[in-house]
Amino acid sequence: MSGSPTATTQSPPIRRGWLLPTPPGLCYPTPRGPRRTRSPSEVVEPPRCCRTRATSCSGCPITPRTRSSLASLASSYGRTYKNHEAVRVVAWRGRRDPSTCEFSLSGDPDQWGLHIVIWHGASPSWRSGVWNGATATGLTRYIWSQIVDNGEEIYAIYNAADGILTHWKLDYTGNVSFRAWNNVSSTWTSPFERPGHGCLHYGACGPFGYCDITGSFQECKCLDGFEPADGFSLNSSRGCRRKEELRCGGQDHFFTLPGMKVPDKFLYIRNRTFEECADECDRNCSCTAYAYANLRTILTTGDPSRCLVWMGELLDSEKASAVGENLYLRLAGSPAVNNKNIVKIVLPAIACLLILTACSCVVLCKCESRGIRRNKEVLKKTELGYLSAFHDSWDQNLEFPDISYEDLTSATNGFHETNMLGKGGFGKVYKGTLEDGMEVAVKRLNKDSEQGVEQFRNEVVLIAKLQHKNLVRLLGCCIHGDEKLLIYEYLPNKSLDKFLFDHAMKSVIDWQTRFNIIKGVARGLLYLHQDSRMMIIHRDLKTSNILLDAEMNPKISDFGMARIFGNSEQQASTRRVVGTYGYMAPEYAMEGIFSVKSDTYSFGVLLLEIVSGLKISSPHHIVMDFPNLIAYAWNLWKDGMAEAFVDKMVLESCLLNEVLQCIHIGLLCVQDSPNARPHMSLVVSMLDNEDMARPIPKQPIYFVQRHYDEEERQGSESSVNNASLTALEGR
């Protein structure tokens, strides 16, 4: 383990055999020999490893040869070493100070070695998820783990996936990071770092609270059936309390929470089926939750199941859908099974009435169904037909798949909060699964928003027939009374800002991925400006409007503020300035004038954010006290120090020439004069041709930090970076 010169035997001890074959060094205990007296300051000899590649921190990466050694070591010491001394990785005190500090990493002696803990002294600072048969929640997909349980002891093996060189590091700040060698780019990538900044620290959300990391930022929430303990907001020190106290005596039920990192302080019960595990918790009124995993296909020895139960408070939970598991939470209320007797009594009484009613309805429905379908189609065409009054390019014969409001309600679980992917000024977006199994994203526009109606028109008109791999695809729309919904293709990785501005997630997008995103967005804009059958100005290009598919390919979304230009139009003006502060070009924000060069400016800001990993609205101390990110980038580039602008997460894996090329192009795009900015066709050419000559960018005037006086904000709704302006009157 990099960053740890020694392995100590201080508390907490590990009672059951722990083996940590973690890159770059293999840390393992030696067989017990005659015990000798050792001074308190003395430490164990640094752990040995099969050295195949030198590193800067006295370790070596895992290789296939090393991996084969791990199995034999695990087997050998598992048999002969029953009461192991603790094997602990200890961090350095500082970047250049190799003395030991208070942060260390080891197994938890009280939890059967089923998870890994970062300790701050004797207190946990971060805890991985419990091993579930394939991996531990919160640990990267690049490693796999295995538990061997022979009835006398348990030990764990965490190892690298086949063919991958890996490197772990516990630093002096208490963060553990993981790097994997990319054979294609011959660089190290950093897909994992914990706990970082946020609520991933141990117990940060308090009892019965959990850290939700499925959104674009981490936040504490209460488990279902619980509310903030102070009655107002979730206070991390107090956590959450039950909305309704448990009744016990068969009057409670268990609610399934999917995709969870299960809480700490569990009891491990051996040799149980799922039903037996559930019964263990159900019959004990003190049991608050349980979790189960079938390990029959994973383990080669020992108990083929993993039944965990919790007594009392649930602490240090996490919502981690990609690698989480089901947590069955005890809540007050009668379980569904107790309703069976009621059903048996009521059902015969109403059966005859239902049959008679059904027969009558069949006759009526046949007569009315044609009229209903005809009325719905008339309503839809009436709602969509008036779009031609706003857009000459509207195709009256445009057809959409017939997706009913009822189907969308069912697909999104009644537009439940757990299905919500995000929300903005015009409405909310939900994940849905149609009857045929197709996953979709459903945008439900605000009923009382005038701008929402206009956005609906724009989305339907502009992207219904646009076909480009870097534009999100509109699958259909639904009009139901005052409800207006848009149905898009579902993109599992959500938006770019989720990765770029989350310290724990940004390592997932290495430089090659970021460069591909930059080029993909540029090609999408070029299609809108030049290659589609109509010139389209997006007007709200930003990281949250760049969606990522399963392969991390970018797709431009949210055309609610877009405008169509005629063949002879080059620019237009408006008194309603819409967009997002920081991304808006100077001439647009101050004078309401927009053109294709307005999108070029937004693209330049986006490019600089991707390279640096910083927001355009970053505080002054983050950008070295410069007014904003653009000023920071320009001054570093001018002084020949552009490398310092690069996100440190990709600095080691990037190709420096490509990064400097992107910074240069970004500065060209954010020039104050629209005439000085390149067209997107030139931007695409410069991105594809590293040797292409590029003009020298002019110094920006840093306008984005200017402030409007309150009296000059007439009817405006504004916010910085995350939400869009809906109606800012021009000055």
Give the residue numbers annotated as catalytic, written as ranges.
540
Contacts of residue 612, Cβ cutoff 8 Å, sequence gap at least 6: 629, 633, 645, 646, 647
3-state helix, strand, coil in the chain (%, to 5): 30, 25, 45
Spatial neighbors of 722 by CB under 8 A, at least 6 apart, are 544, 580
For β-strands 305-311 and 267-269, DSSP reports them as: antiparallel
Pairing of strands 209-212, 317-319: parallel
Burial state string for 37-52 with b = 16 or more CB within 10 A and e = fewer than 16: eeeeeeebeebebbee
Half-sphere CA count of 538, side-chain side, radius 13 A? 32
Question: Would you say 506 is a known binding-site residue?
Answer: no
User: Of 447, 446, 445, whose CA–CA distance to 482 is shortest?
Assistant: 447
Peptide bond into 195 cis (omega under 30): yes
How far is Cα 598 from Cα 489, in angstroms, rounded to an integer?
A: 27
Q: Phi first, then psi: what are they for 465, rounded to 5°?
A: -115, 10
CA atoms of 264 and 203, how far apart (whole Å): 9
User: Pairing mode, if any, of strands 287-294 and 267-269?
Assistant: unpaired
- For residue 95, count CB atoms less than 10 angstroms from its CB and return exposed for 0-12, middle for 13-18, buried for 19 or more: exposed
Return the biggest CA–CA distance within the chain.
Answer: 95
Closest listed residue to residue 602, CA positions, set 588, 620, 583: 583
C-alpha distances out from residue 725 to 425, 428, 456, 578, 589, Å: 8, 16, 16, 5, 11
372 and 380 Cβ atoms separated by less than 8 Å: no
Q: How many CB atoms lie within 10 A of CB 31?
A: 9
Run of H or E residues at 453: helix 450-463
Q: In whole angstroms, give the CA distance from residue 73 to residue 148.
A: 13
Task: Please name which of 454, 457, 716 lies closest in space to residue 577, comparing C-alpha atoms.
Answer: 716
Check if the beta carbon of residue 427 is closer than 8 Å to that of residue 485.
no
Classify residue 582 as left (phi > 0), alpha (psi -120 to 50) or beta. Answer: left
Alpha carbon separation from 707 to 127, 590, 621, 631 (Å, rounded): 44, 11, 19, 17
Give the N- to C-terminal CA distance of the chain in Å, as an integer: 60
Find the DSSP H helices in 81-197: none
Going by the DSSP 8-state scheme, the letter that residue 29 receives in this structure is P
Find the DSSP H helices in 475-541: 496-500, 511-526
d(CA 222, CA 212): 10
Write the CA distances from 691 to 260, 458, 590, 604, 694, integer angstroms.
Answer: 49, 39, 36, 20, 9
Sole residue written with tokens 């002084």: 639
What is the residue-wise DSSP string for 592-620?
-EEEHHHHHHHHHHHHHHHHH---TT--T
44: helix, coil or strand?
A: strand
Indicate the annotated binding residues for ATP. Answer: 443
Indicate the annotated binding residues. Answer: 443
